[in-house]
Amino acid sequence: MDPLDAFWHFGNLFLPAWGVAALMALALKLIWRQAVSGMRWRTLAAWGGLGGTLGIVAALVLLGRDGTMAGYGLMLLGVTLAQWGVSVKK
């Protein structure tokens, strides 16, 4: 595999997590305006993307492969928990 193929391979592995995180951050900013008014959209998306990436890595470690429904569930759990943890007011 050449470097360009490796780039696309890893990019497509983590793209669902970052896409879901961006959409979820947008939904948070539209639906719960008051609760996340102090948070920037990019901050919510970045934390969600990192959580989703950790969920995908956990799925690879636990399940041995990607693309399973359980793996996508772990990705969604990672995105959700990360964005919830950042948006909770203290």
The tens digit of pLDDT for each residue in 22-35 reads 999 999 999 988 88
pLDDT value of position 68: 92
> Residue holding tokens 């901050």?
43
- Is the pLDDT assigned to residue 41 strictly greater than 80? yes
Burial class (CB in 10 A: 0-12, 13-18, 19+), 1: exposed
| pLDDT computed for residue 88 by the predictor | 81
Written as one string, the DSSP assignment of 58-86 is HHHHHHSSSS-HHHHHHHHHHHHHHHHHH
